[in-house]
Structure 1
Amino acid sequence: MVASIHTRFVDRIDGFRVVGQAATGEAALAEVARLDPDLVLLDVHLPDLSGIDVLRRLRADGHDVGVVMVTAAREADTVRAAAAAGAAQYLVKPFEFDDLAQRLAAYRQAELALRRLDTPDQEGIDAVFAPRARVRQPLPKGLSAETARLVEDALRAADGDLSAAEAAERVGLSRVSARRYLEHFVDRGSATVRLRYGSAGRPERRYAPV
């Protein structure tokens, strides 16, 4: 049941799709060898091996697949062991869709930066090691979860980026209200903002999903 929920979550995130599932540690190792995925969502509590043992065996076999721990285990020793074995992210269950989406976006950002490396300078190296999922922030006072979902859906459905005025028109809000939601998405790490300069006046803020 949990794997089914997580599958639906992943399938909603741009740039990711589920290629396989495994219910035991041994099955996970076999599926990684068979499917050669880019990323594994790995629990600690498995019927045969621990997820930490699975991760260590993957690394011992020379497999550099990305691993995001998705687990209820929150013991300090377990978290340290996951980090030492090379887990990219660690997400404690239960969690909401946005929590997973932010971490997968951070992983994807780091992987894209890694693929662009040739002879990198420090900035290029930092782009690989620096991305981290931000802690999900509660909505500021005056913003509603329902409207936030509408603005976020409009942002993700856009062909490219959106201004606050364009988002407001699509959702039926004032420009000021739409901008508050968009800036909140930037603060929590689920959107980016850039300035577009015109011939005159202040630059326009353009927003895009992460």
Structure 2
Amino acid sequence: MKKSRDIEVLIVEDDLRIAEIQKRFIEKIEGFQTVGIAVNYEEAKTYIELLQPDLLLLDVYFPDMNGLDLLKETKQQVKQMDVIMITATKEIHKVQEAISIGVFDYMIKPVVFERFKQSLVRYQEYHLKLVELHDENLHVTQQQVDKLLRKEVSGSGAANDKSYLPKGIDPLTLDKVLIVLGKVDCGLTAEVVAKEIGVSRTTARRYLEHLMSEEKIAADLAYGTVGRPERVYRCLTP
């Protein structure tokens, strides 16, 4: 099997200090190389056409463009390029738009190295699997399609469960719920879990009920002195 080349990354970021940080992050991760830094629309278009990178690290707001518009353009390129958004933009409609267009990941600034590395390593596995399938000219199986759709190839954790995660269930949040529950033996209510991971009670309950359906946690009824009994969720003993 031939040795794979480094994944070529183009950074599209108008703040050169942040771009340099991203470049240094990339240098710490084996199998990647930065092929350029673009600070505006014209540079981004030129570099994309000339360099044909595998991956773009893309911000949303620029003085002369909206990164989401550039994202749409990249999806129409002859060579398919993947995009990881790295931005301070937190508006839910912008996040939804980026996801609907087809970003590989969406990171909110400031990004710490561990989160950055996690994203690129996951992309590396995804990219190498695609290259392998292309080289072997295989007809993919349903299982391979399912894994590619959820950007998962190998590894462990909630993101790599055998069952496909339903809409509205994020693997990182799922991990947080499991970590919180794993810290106590007596179990926690949905309200306590919600406070611990910073989501609404309704959201926490949705994740807890999903884990119940996967038989990864159990629930008991706790009777207080007043009011209705509450469900208390706990991790199952391995």
For normalisation by structure 1, the TM-score amounts to 0.61
Q: Residue 127 in 1 paired to residue 172 in 2?
A: no
Residue 116 of structure 1, CA deviation: 2.6
CA contact (8 A) 2:52 2:79 kept: no
- 1:12 and 2:32 matched: no
Aligned twin of 1:56: 72
**Structure 2 counterparts to residues 66-145 of structure 1, below 5 A:** 66-117=82-133, 118-131=138-151, 135=172
User: How is 1:149-164 mapped onto 2 (pairs within 5 angstroms)?
Assistant: none
Q: Give identity over the alignment, percent.
A: 34
The answer to whether the 8 Å contact 1:13/1:101 transfers is yes
Q: Which amino acid aligns with 2:40?
A: T
Alignment match, 2:37: 21
Question: Aligned AA for 1:119?
Answer: H
Instruction: Tell me the amino acid that sits aligned with residue 2 of structure 1.
Output: I
Q: For the pair shown, which has the larger CA radius of gyration, 1 or 2?
A: 2
Cα RMSD (Å): 2.3
What letter matches 1:128 in structure 2?
L
| Deviation per residue, 1:7-30 (Å, 9 max, x gap) | 000111111111100001221121
State the AA in 1 paired with 2:56: V
Counterpart of 2:147 in structure 1: which amino acid? A
Q: How many residues align?
A: 141
| Unaligned runs of at least 5 residues, structure 1 | 142-210
Q: Does 1:37 align with 2:53?
A: yes
Q: Aligned partners of 1:71, 1:25: CA distance in 2, in Å?
A: 16
